[in-house]
Every structure is written in C-alpha cells, then in structure tokens.
Structure 1
Amino acid sequence: MPIKTREHLVNETNVRNREIRHTEKILIVDDEKLHQYSLLTLMQQSGYQVECVSSGEAAISKLEKNNVGIVLLDLNMDGITGDDVMRYISNNNINTSIIVVSGEGSFDAAENALKLGAYDFIRKPYSIDNLLNSVNNATKKRQLEADNTKMHTQLRESENIHRYIVNNSPDIVYILDGEGRFTFVNKRIETLLGYSVKELIGKHFTELVYEDDIDKAQFKFNERRTGKRCSINIELKLKCKKYNQPRNFDNRLLPIEINSMGVYSSHNEKHEKKFIGTYGIARDITDKIEAEEIIRFQAYHDMLTRLPNRTLLNDRLSQAITHARRNKTSLSIMFLDLDRFKMINDTLGHIVGDHLLQAVAMRLKHCLREGDTLARLGGDEFTLLLPDVNNQQDAKRIAEKIIKSLADPFKIDNHELFVSTSIGISQFPEDGNTIESLIKHADIAMYSVKDSGKNNYQFYDKKMIHAYSDNLSLENDLRRALDNKQFEIYYQPQINVETQEIFAMEALIRWNHPERGMINPNDFIGLAEETRLIKQIGDWILQAACEQLKTWRDLGFNDIRIAINVSAIQLEQNNFVEFVLEQLTKNKIPGEYLEIEITENTLMHDTDAGVDKLRELSNHGIKIAIDDFGTGYSSLNYLKHLPIDTLKIDQSFIRDMSKSEEDSSIIKAIISMAKGLKLNIISEGVETQEQLKQLKRWRCKNMQGFLFGRPMPNDDALKVLQRCSSISAQ
C-alpha cells in the first residue's frame, strides 16, 4: 500500500473540496409551507440536494437514517419542537450540522440553540446572502473535518503498516552493526528460534548459525554488498534454543533463506560512504524443504503403500544387474498378483480394497531380507527384487514364506478377508539380462500359476511363453469376434415343474471361433471383463435376445420371458437404462417380459448408482433376478429394500445337496427366505430326477438345468417352445 505525504493529502483535499462542495444533503424542517418552499427553491438553485418535512416527528424519522449533512431548522413547531430535534441529534451523536432559521429573535433562544449544538442561528426574515454563506461555510467545515479525520487516519495507518512489517513479519528481520552484532531483530525470532529479542541484542550472528554453515554465513549473513551484487535466497540453518517447541523438520535446526544487503552512512566531507552494518531478512523454509522431500518421495514411491514404485524399482534393478554382472552372481525377480482381490474390491468397495493392499504390503515387508526391494506397480501387483541369491532355493524359500504369511485372514473394517497370491519368478542371467526381459518372464510365470489354480509360485520356463502367447492371441481374437459375427446366443428353458410349462428362456452366449471351435463362456467372459469388452458384448446380447423374443412373440409365444445376464461393467454405464428401454421399445416388448440377471457381487459393486438404475428398470416393469445366489456377500437386510423379483439358487448347492447336509440346509433356508420376502425362486443346474423330487418336496416349483434342456441355438429353442405349447394345449 503506497504511503501518502501530508502535502499530497492536503492537495488532494483541496481538489475534492471543489468537487464535493454542493453534494451535502440538506433537510428543511419548517411547518410553514411558504417558508419551506422559499428555502427549498433557494437551496436547489444553489445546487444542493434538498428534502423537506413539516414537523419535528418527520425530521427525526429522516435523521434516523443518519444521511443528512445540514438541517435548516425552525424552532417553533407544534408537537416536537426545534429544540427537541436538536436534543435528539445531540443524544444520538448524529453527524449533521444544524442551522436554525427561525422567527424567534430573542437572545435566549439563540444562546439555547447554540448550546444545543447549532452551527448558526439566522433570524427570519433572513438575508439570502447570509443564509447561503452560513450553509456554504457549514459545508466547507464539514468537508475539512472529514478530510482532516481521513488524513490522520491514513497517517496512523502508514505508521502501523511500518510497525506491522517489522514486528509482525512472518520472516526474521535483523540489523547487524559493522562487527556482525545484532542491533535490531524483530519478535519473529522468538516464535521461530525461541530466543527473546533482549538476549540477542549485542550477540554476534555466528552464535545462531549452525556450525557446518558458518563459513557460508560469514559473507552472507553480514553482507556488505548492495544492489544486484548483494546476497539473494541463500540457504542456511540456524540453531533453535533447546527449550523451543519441537519442530517437524528438525528439533534443533531451522532451515532459512537469507536476503541481505550492506547499509552505509551518508556521504561525509570526503564524499566517501562508510559501512555501518547489514540489513537482512531470514525466511523459514521448513515447509518448502518438507514439500521438496514429499515431491521426491512421491516421484519414487507408491503413495498408498509407501513402497517403491516402478521408477525406483527399475533404478535398483539396473544397479543390481550391473553388480551381478560384474561379480558373476545371480538375482531373482518375483512378480506377485493377489488372488480374489478384484472380487473383494468390487464387492466391498475401493476403501476396503485400499486398506487390504496396505495390510498386504506390511506382511510382505516382513518376509524380506536386508537389501531386498518390494515395489508396487499398480492395482494388486507387486514386484520383489532379490539381489545376491545363490540359487533357486533362496528364491523358493522367500516365495514359500510369502505364501504362508498371507494364509492368515486380514481383519479390515469389520470384515475378515482371505487373500492369496500367485508368484512368478525369473532369474538373472538364466531368464534374461535386461530389466524388461526379467520382469516380462516373471509376469509370464505368474500367469502360469494363475492358470494352474493360483496360490502358488513357479519359476519361469521357456515352455510358458507358448501358453502366454496363446492367451494374448485369444484376447486379440476376442476383440475381433464381434465385428466378425462369431458370437451366438444359445437359450436354456426355465420350467414350472407343476404345470410343465416353459415360462422363460435364459440367453447364454457362445463363441464360435473359426479355429478353436465353440468356446465356453467360462473360457472368455473373465477376459472380456478384464479388457472391458464385456460392455460391447453385453450390448450385443441384449439387442440380439430382444430381437429373438420379438420373433417368438410374432409366432404367438406371448407369455415367454427372456432372461439376460448383465455384468457390473455394463451396469455402471451412464446410458445403460436408456439402452435397455430402447431395445424394448424397438421390438415392442412389454417390460415384464424382460428379466435382468445380476450376481450378488455385481449388486454390491457401485452400490448406490447401480441400485438407482435397477429401480428405474423395475419401474418400467422389468424383472430383476439375482443369479448364483448364496455365493456372494449380499446383506439380507439390503435385499429387502432392493427391487428384486427372483433369486436363482447357485448350481453348486444343487449339485452337492444329496451328499452334503450343509448344502441342503442352505437351499431350504434360501427357499424359505424367498417366500418370506415374497420373491420367486429358481433352482439352477438341476440334472437328476432325485434333485427334482427333493426340490419339489421343498416347494420349489421353478427350475433350470440339463434335466429339462441344455442351452440350444435359436431353431432348437423354437422347436422346444412349439412342443411345449402343443403339450399344454392337450
């Protein structure tokens, strides 16, 4: 803020006085209309803003707003008199100038008016010149008082600003004499270093400087140069007083940044300047240094687990390869991928997933030797560098230790979670002599473990590259399958065993690969979800199945419902509901003849948004079924508030129910719960007459499985519908 001199303020005041001379608002208070009009005309012609009132009451009402500069006041009025108005102004400290204009000519009246605060007293009939002079003088006086007040306020503010800069600066401000002793230091020294101002005055600056920085400080802290050559942004450390408050960066040292310049006396008779000391500012840069350390840490570490990231791993692996090559030793790389993590993350949410990753990282660190590096590359993937291994046995022992350490459950946010890991191991120099080849081959070995049942480890073998290439080839083929029209939809009937009627057909995808033949969905749906191609595939299934249902309805099968599986990835699409409704409208299908099947894990994924979409679909009559029920994590209380119509008992329970009392109990519990919640129930995977009879005894009438028909192409499904229809007609 620029500081104005007194001369500047006076000149400014004179200019403003000319500009604002006639901007004061005048209030005329007179109960005689003729006098009131006369004053109004005179003041307006003189350029003033004027208002008129005819009583003391009205005058007080106007004055309450406190925006009247001058009052031309008559004394003798009915009710509240002019004296009363002046008392009101005085008692309420209203900033206005009163000029009494009255027919009362006695000395006592004039004296009383002046005692009550009147600026002037003018007797009626008045001289126009006298009245105008009085008003103009009152205006000038008010303006001069306002300008004077403002001038003093600004001068006080200027002084306060100087005082604030010095005594309340966030930086240490100091002055040294020619010998380097403190002659002035501001109070900031107390909060930053713990010393009082008094105990530093007269002390040499080196008593504050950290011993290792004294040489640097000799010509910086007590700088003699001025102008562009003086010290700018020089970093030093100062010593804190022992009893000072603990600091985040260092309890004993304060990192500072110095800006200093020499101070010289005025010219003497010989036209020479004399050095009299140093003026300097020392800024606390603790936050800056901490921020720089955080930035450096973030550049080389994963912020969730605090483990090294890919950049730091590559740096250490490069050094380890150089060391191993020079000393003719070996090293191992382990690539770890957590089993079942995606299901936990999708089911319980990313917060639980993040906490689980942190807990896994802690356990893995306890399995390391000194000098090993554990890094997180992203997601649920970790890489472990083991330098100086003698043979595969060393890596094998650590891999087994890791698998054993993860066997115990993790307690995360009131959940007991189990997670295992698949570990691929590559060796230098046998499996590669570069960073890229070692990590790639460990990755291939890890995928081999995944394909072999997970929760194990394997060393890289050249034969694995073929299986890895095969998976990569399958992914590439999957990306082309839609365009090449290689997908087909098979249909499996859902039967009411009491009426022997087909009430629905479930649409199931098959991949008719030109070289591999018919591929089961279990062999490619997981890959489709991993690559997120499931969205395009799912949209195609929904579109094709609705078109097929329209064909059946055109042939007279109007009571058949189509059931379609939907993944979590499809459900999270913003336009999912609109796309479903578009297919129904285009094929003229009522909503109640479409059933959307979702798994429990899909239901728990993206919970709020997903449930809102399901509710919207349900509002259009579309049925919602939970597939594979009993294998997921859904809450029964949660089910009660969802728009669910049907529960499908997972076929794993049906398959083992004759051999397992637990599975039988689960099935009966699900059937009983569904009836209590007024939900339909369908048993999946019914393959034997024994299963059929047992389920009927448990009062489950809706079933699906090989016993009633395998998944079949369009033409065969139509024949089954026609045969079932003719049987019902008989």
Structure 2
Amino acid sequence: MRRGVDCAAAKSLWDTMMKIKFQASFNEFHIDNDFGVSYRGQELTLYPKELAVLSYLVQHAGELVSKEELIESVWNGAPTSDESIARCISVIKSRLRKANPGADALIKTEYGRGYRFVGALSHKSSCLCEESFQALIDASPDFVALKDGEGRWQVVNQAGIDLYDLEGKPWQNKTDLELAALSSPDHLESFQACIASDEIAWHAGKPTRSTEKVQSAAHGPRIFEVIKSPLFHEDGSRRMLIILGRDVTEKTLAEEQLRLSAQVLLNSREAVVITDADNNILSVNRAFTEVTGYIAEEVIGKNPRILSSGRQSKEFYHALWHQLEIEGSWRGEIWNRNKNGRIYPEWLDISMVRDQNGLVTHHIAIFSDITQRKETEQQLEFLAYHDPLTRLPNRLLLRDRFDKAAAASARNETMAALLFLDLDQFKNVNDTLGHEIGDQLLLGVAERLSNCVRDTDTISRLGGDEFVILLPELQEISTASTVAQKILEHLSNPFDIGGHILNTSFSIGIGLYPDDGTDFDTLLKLADAAMYYAKDCGRNTYRFYTEQMNIHAMERMQLQNNLHQALKQQEFVLHYQPQFDLASGQMIGVEALIRWKSPELGLVPPAKFIPAAEDCGLIVPIGEWVLREACRQNRLWQDAGHEPFAVAVNLSALQFRRGDIVETIIDVLAETRLEPAWLELELTESILIQNVDYVLGVIKKLKKIGIRLSIDDFGTGYSSLTYLKRFAVDKLKVDQSFVRNMTVDPDDAAIVHSVIQLGHSLKLKIVAEGVETRDQAEYLLHEGCDQVQGYLYSHPVPADEITKFLKETELLSKTTD
C-alpha cells in the first residue's frame, strides 16, 4: 500500500521537520539535534532545552535571534523568564569553553536585543530530497503522521504502523474512528483521545503539546509526548495536521521515580547530602538541617569537612576514600560536629555516582544521628551485666570476673573467695512495708557493702535479697573472714527508710578457690550451702564451707579480738637484739622487736599476730606504741649514763602511708626527749616502690630531722638503683635467708657479695641479719660486711638484759684500761 504524499503536503511536512532535524559542523564541533553536540567525537552534556537553543542559533548563524523567537521555537510560546534564557545560554557557553577554550565566544549576547551565533559552519545539513522523505521518517523511532484537514490519515511512518498494528491494513484516508475499527479494540480509547487533542491544536492555530496513552500491541500501555502542528490554507481553512509522537514511557516512569525519590529524600528521617565530583555540597534535605543545625544556604558549595569533629585521624579518612574509590561505597560509624559544636555519633553511608564513562559525577551521603541508639546500646549492655535496681554486677558479670580472678590466682599461687550473702528476714520487710521500702533497703545495703571491700573486689546482686562478693588475690584465708565480720558490723547499724527504722543482718557463706572448688558454679553452690549453715547457726554470722576452715577463721577472729584487748591492757613488750660492728666486735645499736605476752595464749610470736594486726588495721596503733616505747627505753639507757647508740624500729607499709607519720615521729621524739640521731627506721622495699613521689617527700623530711634510715630484708623484693640513690638511706640489711646458706650455696653467696659491693659503692653501711655460726661471721668479715646481728651474738632479749650487758661491757672496758 502506498504511504506517500503529494508534493505540497510533503513540502509542508518537510518545513515542519526542519524544526526537528538539523545537523551542522563548526570549529571541530558537530551538532545533531537528535543526538546532541560532540567535540572531536567526545559528547558534550546538554539538556534538551539547551540543545534546542544551540540548534536554533546555529541554524540561524550570523542572524540576530531575539528572546521572543527562542521562546516561540524552544519553549513553544510558554511564559519564560529572561533569567531562564540567560542561564541556558550561560550553560551552553560553559560547555563549549570546557571542550575548546575560547569557543564560548561563538555566541554573542547583544543586550536588550538577543543573541547571535558568529561561527563559520563547515557543514550544514537541513534539507532532504522528497524521494528520501519516507525513508527519513521510517528511520525515526518516533511516531510521525500527517492528517488532512478532514482528519484523514495521509502519511504515517513505520513506528506508527507498528504501534497501531496497521501493517497490511487499508489505513490511508481513514479517520481515527475508522482506524479504530481496523485496529485492536484496545486502541479505541487512544483514537478517541487523538480526535480531542487534534481539535485543541486546530483551535490553537499553533503547535501544541500533549501527553497521550496508547495500548501497544507489542509492549502494552505506552506514554507518548505528542506535538501537533496545524497548517492552514490562505483562506484560513484547515489544510494539514502534522503529528510527532515520542515514546516517553521509560522517561516518564524514571521522572516519576525521581520525583518520588526526591520526595522521599526530602522527607526522609535520615540526613542526605549530595555533592559534586569535587565533593562540594549541591543539595541537602530537611533532616540534614535537623541533625547538623545548618540550613541549606549555609552549606551549599562547601565541603562536608565542615562537619568534621576531629576525632578521626587522617589515616581513617584515607582508608574511607580508598574503599570508596575501589568499591564505590562506604558505610560505618563516624563522629561529627553540629553547628552548635556538639559532637555526636552518626551512621554514615556514602556512595559514588559515575557516568557512562566511569567518571565520578556525584557523591551521595546518607546519615543519621545515632546518639540515642548508642546510649540505648550502652544501657542495654549495662543492663545485660548489671542489676537494674542496685546497678551492681549481676551473675553474668560476676562469673566473668571470677574466671579472671581464678586465672590470676592460678598464676600467682593465691586464693579467691566467694561470699554468699542473704539478707535475714528481708521477706518480712517486703510483706509488711511494701516493695518500695524493700527496694530502698536493698539500695542502702548495697551502699554499705561498697564500704566493706577493696576496689578490686566485686559486689554482685543475684536477685531478691541475695548478694555475692568476690574477693580475688587473697594471701590468707583470714582475709575473707575479716571482710565478712566487717560486713556484719556495718549492717548492725539500723537503716532509716521512709521513717521506718529497720534492723538488718546477713547470713554469709564463704567458698574458697581453689580449696573448695575451681569453677564458678561449684564454688557458688558451696558458698550457698555454707550460707544456709550460717542461718542454721542463728543468722547474723558467717561460715566457711568446711568446719576446719571455720575453726581456723574463728581462731583468727579471736586473735584479732585478743589483739584489741592486748593493746588496751598493755600486754605487748619489746625485746632488743644487739647489732655489732663486725671488725671491732663493739655493740653499736639494737633492733626493737615486739612480743605479746597473752594471759590466755602465752608468748605469741610476731609471725602469728602481726599479719592479723595488719588485716584488722591494729598495726598502726601497735606500731606507734613500739616507736614510743623504743624511744623511751633508749632515752632511759642514755639517762643511766650509757654511751648513746641507735635503736632500730620497723615501720609497716600501712604506717608509712598514713599522712601523719612524720608528725607522729616528731611528737614521739619530743615526748621521749630522744635525739633524732639515735632513732633508726627500718623500711621494707615494698614501701619504697609505692607512690614514689610521696615516699621521697616523707624520707626527705625524716632525713632533714636527722633520723637514720635502713632498708630491711634487702634483696627479697624489688629494688632499683635509682631509687636507692634518690632515697639516700644509710644502711642495707642483708636478709637472713641469704645469710643462712651463703657458706654452702654459691647463689646465696653471690647475692651477699653483690649486696655488700653495691652498698659500699653507694657509701652505705651493710648489716647482715641472722648470723648464727662462726663460719658465717668470718665469711662476712672477709666480704667486707660492716655490721651483724643474730643468734651467734645474742637472741632478742628484754631491756634489762641489754642494760646488764651494757654494764658488763663498760666494766670490762674499765678493767682492761
């Protein structure tokens, strides 16, 4: 079937086509209004309106084109601002200049008049021979049709034939309704819409645009953007209607998707930032302002680094950008700073957008302030390991800390203890006064418990009225009983809860690691059993899991109680062990050693009661008594006319850590009238290495007074030569454990030799303790030791024995003279 058209109709259609089809070349640019603009084969990015403006200017090269012409040709007469046209021209010139510097000068702006393209066209194609017309429109993927003044179809291209399934059907000279009868029933609505839009174009008398839907046989419903251009005879009667339709289904759907996406981004609860390839901000949404405090005008054109908190390092950002380049996206947690300076955590997701050539065009960042989420996570994590009421560790955290304590005890050969505590008669409080009062009581109990343990101990609430205390790194079993007794004493004072005076007590069961059990569940079970045994014994008491431990703990507690009485009843006495100059054999001082004469226990050795005194804190008042008694006795010897000598007194670490030790010593010296030169204080190595600055300050004050200082049991702990030099002590005492075997053990002999040499190099006197044999004395003399003390010379003896010795020595001296 012929699909041609008479010359007049073809000419009219061609004149219209010229507005659509145009090609030209200039300055190595090529323009095709179907395919765009390229420079040396590289495509320039222009939007349709920008391409249409450039095409029109090039078509009219050398001519002045007014704004009104551009509006009519490009915008189809729709109201358009001067600013929109100027912006369009500016973009075109920018793209030309970027491709070929200086090419923007091809478009001249004649202000108030219009625009002129001044380039020389090397090739221009804007006309076709009539014989090629049908081939031209058939080659177009767009729908092209020509109707006469009566609405009958005269020309249609292959795209139109396929769209309406008209292949092989007598469509020419048929109206839309007649074609509807030839086509599928699905097309009836489309043909009816065509008739209506045709009339709109005829009545408008100029090209009109519309959007029409067509049911395609091959592709289903399609959306077309349609331009209808009416042509009239000179007398005004209808001549031809040229119809151009472009399938914009995908474009429309994409634009709709973009609109929806834009709306989603605009109203998203997550902040969105879009930047260009150089990471300059192009757009932000409302959530961005809510999160950062910055409005769009304050950040557009700036780099997102204005939000940087400074918490992340350069290496962090380097890794972020590296992953972004490699994988095209990055997501993770980051810290940023808002406009008010608040630093907040955010969850950030960054993506790169690339063009068809793989070049980065944009970055899209989506983030949200996760402060509340982090706080919730921290709270949930806290609640997972803590009791919500008392905020003490729960069973889970207690188990973890027990495992760590058990591992440490295994390494260090120490013990650990679990104290299972049950609040006696707590159920009665809840039942009579209510759970609110009960909760307040539990909080008060938890606070008092915290005052009964060390920082390294763990107090846990298992629930209800049950608490468990973990005591790690125990040297002695008695420490557990000391803590238990302390808890019972602290709980003996009544609580005032809401005006109610409540008396409480604990039943406490104690299980020991590793003696009673080596795993948490076993030891907790045994401590629980011991707790019930404590309840059976009358409550308000504690029991160890085994009776043997109970006996030992009770003995220890009895010992501590007896120590309190001994201090009040003055049951302590001092014995003195003489110290001799090894070369001359002359007594040059004594060491004061405490003894306890208990009416019930007899003479108790220091090794048994000193640790107990340290555990219960009595070592401080006992130590002060020793200091005062030793100074008093030394003054008595001097007043009796004996040659002055120094008395050495041991200071415990607990005494030394007290803030008033210097004042105490000054007061004792003043009270006893003893010159500071005749008092020597023996310090252990452990004192020297704890809180060095404080220790150094105390020692400087003591030295300034004139007191002598020695390091006791040297070599058994940790010593630094720097410490020895800084502390400026007077003597080193070689521990008796080395002296005892030095004549038979090469290692001990080497240690004794080294200590003597070290001390002499620092100009210190060396005292050897525990000398019991003549061979030991001779060995020490050979090594250059200065002073000795030990059973070879004298056991520790009462003061009157020293007095007797002094008199005998003085008498012997006179007789010899």
Q: How high is the TM-score relative to the length of structure 1?
A: 0.46
Compare relative contact order (CA 8 Å, sep 6+) and give the higher one, 1 or 2.
Answer: 1
Larger C-alpha radius of gyration, 1 or 2?
2
Q: How high is the TM-score relative to the length of structure 2?
A: 0.41
